[in-house]
Amino acid sequence: MGSVKEITIEDVNVSSANQQPKVVFVLGGPGSGKGTQCANIVEHFGYTHLSAGDLLRAEIKSGSENGTMIQNMIKEGKIVPSEVTIKLLQKAMQESGNDKFLIDGFPRNEENRAAFEAVTKITPEFVLFFDCSEEEMEKRLLGRNQGREDDNIETIRKRFKVYLESSLPVIEYYNSKGKVRKIDAAKPIDEVFEAVKVVFTSKDEKVGMCRLPRLFFISSCFIPGIFVLRRRCSCTVDGVASHLWVDAFPFLILMNTWN
Ligand SMILES: Nc1ncnc2c1ncn2[C@@H]1O[C@H](COP(=O)(O)OP(=O)(O)O)[C@@H](O)[C@H]1O
Ligand SMILES: Nc1ccn([C@@H]2O[C@H](COP(=O)(O)OP(=O)(O)O)[C@@H](O)[C@H]2O)c(=O)n1
Measured CA to CA, the distance from residue 130 to residue 140 in angstroms comes to: 14
The torsion defined by the Cα of 245, 250, 251 and 255, in degrees rounded to 10, comes to 120
215 and 171 co-located in one domain: no
What is the pLDDT, as a whole number, of residue 250? 56
Q: Which of 176, 201, 226 is the last residue of a domain?
A: 201
Determine, yes or no, domain membership for 179: yes
Q: Please tell me the distance between residue 176's alpha carbon and the centre of ligand 1 in angstroms.
A: 27
Determine, yes or no, domain membership for 231: yes
Taking alpha carbons only, the member of 185, 192, 171 closest to residue 124 is 171
Q: Please tell me the distance between residue 77's alpha carbon and the centre of ligand 1 in angstroms.
A: 18
Burial 78-95 (b: 16+ CB within 10 A, else e): ebbbbebbbbbbbbbbee
35 and 90 co-located in one domain: yes
**Measured from the CB, is residue 33 less than 6 Å from ligand 1?**
yes
Q: Please tell me the distance between residue 128's alpha carbon and the centre of ligand 1 in angstroms.
A: 15
Determine, yes or no, domain membership for 206: no
Q: Minimum-distance ligand to the CA of 75?
A: 2
Determine, yes or no, domain membership for 224: yes
Taking alpha carbons only, the member of 39, 32, 11 closest to residue 102 is 39
Which amino acid is it at 162?
V
Measured CA to CA, the distance from residue 214 to residue 254 in angstroms comes to: 12
44 and 72 co-located in one domain: yes
Q: Which CATH number is 84's domain given?
A: 3.40.50.300
**Measured from the CB, is residue 53 less than 6 Å from ligand 1?**
no
Determine, yes or no, domain membership for 2: no
146 and 52 co-located in one domain: yes
What is the pLDDT, as a whole number, of residue 191? 98
The number of folded domains in the chain is 2
What is the pLDDT, as a whole number, of residue 60? 98
Measured CA to CA, the distance from residue 240 to residue 136 in angstroms comes to: 63
Which amino acid is it at 192?
V
Nearest-CA residue for ligand 2 atom 10 is 53
22 and 98 co-located in one domain: yes
Measured CA to CA, the distance from residue 167 to residue 52 in angstroms comes to: 14
Determine, yes or no, domain membership for 121: yes
39 burial (CB, 10 Å; 0-12 / 13-18 / 19+) is exposed
Q: Please tell me the distance between residue 19's alpha carbon and the centre of ligand 1 in angstroms.
A: 34
What is the pLDDT, as a whole number, of residue 218? 52
What is the pLDDT, as a whole number, of residue 20? 85
Q: Which structural domain range is residue 215 located in? A: 211-257
What is the pLDDT, as a whole number, of residue 16? 43
119 and 68 co-located in one domain: yes
What is the pLDDT, as a whole number, of residue 19? 74
23 and 62 co-located in one domain: yes
User: What 8-state DSSP symbol labels residue 95?
Assistant: H
14 and 71 co-located in one domain: yes
Measured CA to CA, the distance from residue 57 to residue 48 in angstroms comes to: 18
Q: Please tell me the distance between residue 107's alpha carbon and the centre of ligand 2 in angstroms.
A: 10
Burial 149-178 (b: 16+ CB within 10 A, else e): ebbeeebbebbbebbeebbeebbebbeeee
> Counting atoms of ligand 2 from 1, which one is nearest the CA of 53?
13
Determine, yes or no, domain membership for 1: no
103 and 186 co-located in one domain: yes
186 and 116 co-located in one domain: yes
48 and 74 co-located in one domain: yes
Determine, yes or no, domain membership for 159: yes
What is the pLDDT, as a whole number, of residue 5? 42
Nearest-CA residue for ligand 2 atom 22 is 74
Tens-binned pLDDT, residue by residue, of the chain (259 aa): 334 344 444 444 444 445 789 999 999 999 999 999 999 999 999 999 999 999 999 999 999 999 999 999 999 999 999 999 999 999 999 999 999 999 999 999 999 999 999 999 999 999 999 999 999 999 999 999 999 999 999 999 999 999 999 999 999 999 999 999 999 999 999 999 999 999 999 876 654 344 444 555 555 655 565 555 556 655 566 665 666 556 665 555 555 444 3
What is the pLDDT, as a whole number, of residue 220? 61
70 and 127 co-located in one domain: yes
